[in-house]
Amino acid sequence: MKVLIINASVRNGRSYSRKLTQLFVENWKTKYPSDTFTYRETGIDTIPNIDEPWIAGAFKKPSYRTEENHKALQLSDKLVKELKEHDMYVIGTPMYNWSIPAGLKAYIDQIMRINETWKFRSGFPDGDYVGLLENKKAFLLSTRGDTGYDENEKNGHINFQTTYLKHILGIMGVTDVTTFSLDNEEFGGEIFENSKNEIFKAIHSIE
Q: Which residues make up each annotated binding site for FMN?
A: 9, 15-17
Separation between Cα atoms, residue 148 and residue 154, nearest integer Å: 5
Distance from C-alpha of 184 to C-alpha of 26, rounded to nearest angstrom:
24
Q: In 3D, which of 88, 98, 96 has the Cα closest to residue 140?
A: 88
Residue 194 CA: distances (Å) to CA of 147, 153, 162, 188, 198: 13, 19, 21, 10, 6
| Residues facing residue 5 across a β-bridge | 39, 90
Binding residues: 9, 15-17
